[in-house]
């Protein structure tokens, strides 16, 4: 026998129980604080890179760069001296830095800007790829240049003359050769773009620098405008735990269930998303007169995803929907009707969640999502917290333009 009842709380003795405005305000303020705190934290630790979609963390102030979006911010670290006198090393490093400033599409980070963000000791000893990537991230540079200057002394045998007996007599002469090696690093991709080197005598060092600059210039092209992210559909399935609060806890105990989410990422603007979420919970043991409790909720939610380093992201969201309670009550029904009854209640709800995600493989994410839900019945409010743990997969939509060009080939 199915008997619909208008109010879940009235059935179990909470007819005169009224929702306290202060409790509602406190709940709303707590959830707003959680969402705001996570948003601010993500923004403070987020850096967007122009050339690539990689995002890195920084705790340093933003370096002022040129407003020209077509240039590539590049950090130059003085080349390490190997058996080279400081005077010659300074001349070479200054010459390279001066010519780098003249390369089109290269936006060189100035020494003053580097000193404001980095420790002077770190700047002085940085000469390899790992160091360049680490410090380049702090500088918000997309590329970094490191390398070395090596002085080599070579001994050669040379004829003392061209005629007579002198052409059979050799003397040993020494020559100083300077080898300049440069590594061009892609900071976001953590890769090596180029390894260049030039060798010359001291009086021809300027020719080596000119030759290196011509080669480096070939790696700096105008940055193409970053295409907006494509609309990305995704699907997630999670195990869920529900913990009721307040008056709702007097009716049921904690329970478990499953949550299915279907959504779209980059919905209106990059990193925004919307989703339809459905959850089903069940209580496996008795609580008071409740012998069986099942609960389902369906809601529409929207949020913003904040990318973090190393594949992590934080996504706060808020939404609304409806809650469906299904109850079998033996004791109350036996007293009133002499047999068990079923009751179903449909209530409006407001839900707030904050998803933490880690990309374990391309498109596949491990997600942990704490949330808080409030549902309303006349003057009464029920609330519970839920924690979801599961997997999410983002589907890649093929680019029609690329497919057409490949078919044409």
The per-residue pLDDT for range 17-73, each reduced to its tens digit, is: 444 555 555 555 655 665 565 555 545 544 333 333 333 333 333 343 444 557 889
Give the lowest-confidence range in 52-66, 151-165, 340-354. Answer: 52-66
pLDDT recorded at residue 245 = 84
Domains (range + CATH), the chain: 8-45+228-400 (2.40.160.20), 70-217 (3.40.50.10070)
Q: Please, are residues 136 and 123 in contact by the beta-carbon 8 Å criterion?
A: no
327: pLDDT strictly greater than 80: no
Q: How confident is the model at residue 99 (pLDDT cuts 50, 70, 90)?
A: very high
| Residue 230 to residue 264: CA distance in whole angstroms | 10
Q: Residues with Cβ < 8 Å from 270, sequence gap 6 or more? A: 228, 229
Q: How confident is the model at residue 362 (pLDDT cuts 50, 70, 90)?
A: confident
- Residues in the chain, how many? 409
Q: How confident is the model at residue 347 (pLDDT cuts 50, 70, 90)?
A: confident
Between these two residues, 85 and 409, which has the higher pLDDT value?
A: 85
| Residue 356 to residue 316: CA distance in whole angstroms | 9
What interhelical angle do 205-217 and 86-100 show, nearest 10? 30
Q: How confident is the model at residue 409 (pLDDT cuts 50, 70, 90)?
A: very low
Between these two residues, 52 and 278, which has the higher pLDDT value?
A: 278
Question: For residue 56, is it left (φ>0), alpha (ψ between -120 and 50) or beta?
Answer: beta
Mean pLDDT value across the chain:
77
| Residue 67 to residue 302: CA distance in whole angstroms | 33
258: pLDDT strictly greater than 60: yes
Q: What's the pTM?
A: 0.53
- What DSSP element (H or E) covers 352? strand 341-361
Mean pLDDT of 225-252: 83
């Amino acid at each position: 026998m199915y008997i619909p009842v208008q109010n879940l709380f009235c059935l179990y003795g909470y007819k005169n129980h009224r929702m306290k405005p202060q409790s509602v305000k406190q709940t709303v303020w707590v959830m707003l604080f959680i969402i705001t705190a996570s948003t601010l934290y993500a923004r403070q630790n987020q850096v967007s890179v122009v050339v690539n979609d990689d995002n890195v963390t920084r705790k340093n102030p933003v370096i002022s760069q040129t407003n020209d979006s077509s240039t590539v911010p590049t950090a130059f670290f003085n080349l390490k001296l190997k058996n080279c006198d400081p005077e010659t090393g300074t001349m070479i490093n200054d010459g390279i830095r001066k010519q780098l400033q003249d390369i089109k599409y290269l936006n060189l980070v100035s020494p003053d800007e580097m000193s404001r963000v980095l420790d002077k000791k770190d700047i002085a000893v940085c000469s390899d790829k790992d160091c360049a990537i680490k410090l380049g991230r702090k500088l918000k540079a997309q590329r970094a240049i490191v390398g070395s200057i090596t002085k080599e002394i070579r001994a050669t045998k040379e004829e003392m003359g061209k005629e007579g007996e002198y052409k059979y007599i050799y003397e040993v002469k020494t020559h100083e050769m300077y080898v300049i090696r440069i590594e061009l690093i892609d900071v976001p991709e953590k890769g090596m773009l180029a390894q260049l080197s030039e060798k010359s005598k001291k009086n021809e060092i300027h020719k080596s620098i000119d030759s290196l600059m011509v080669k480096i210039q070939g790696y700096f092209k105008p940055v193409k405008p970053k295409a907006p992210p494509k609309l990305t559909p995704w699907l997630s399935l999670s195990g869920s735990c529900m913990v009721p609060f307040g008056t709702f806890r007097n009716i049921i105990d904690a329970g478990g269930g499953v949550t299915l989410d279907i959504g779209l990422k980059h919905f209106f603007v990059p990193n925004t998303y919307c989703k339809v979420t459905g959850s089903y919970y069940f209580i496996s043991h008795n609580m008071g007169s409740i012998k069986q409790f099942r609960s389902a909720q369906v809601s529409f939610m929207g949020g913003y995803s904040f990318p973090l380093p190393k594949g992590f992201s934080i996504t706060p969201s808020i939404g609304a929907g409806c809650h469906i309670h299904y109850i079998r009550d033996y004791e109350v029904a036996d007293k009133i009707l002499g047999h068990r009854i079923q009751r179903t209640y449909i209530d409006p709800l407001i839900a707030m969640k904050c998803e933490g995600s880690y990309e374990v493989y391309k498109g596949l994410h491990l997600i942990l999502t704490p949330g808080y839900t409030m549902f309303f019945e006349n003057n009464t409010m029920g609330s519970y917290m839920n924690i979801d743990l599961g997997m999410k997969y983002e589907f890649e939509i093929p680019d029609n333009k690329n497919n057409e060009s490949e078919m044409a080939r």
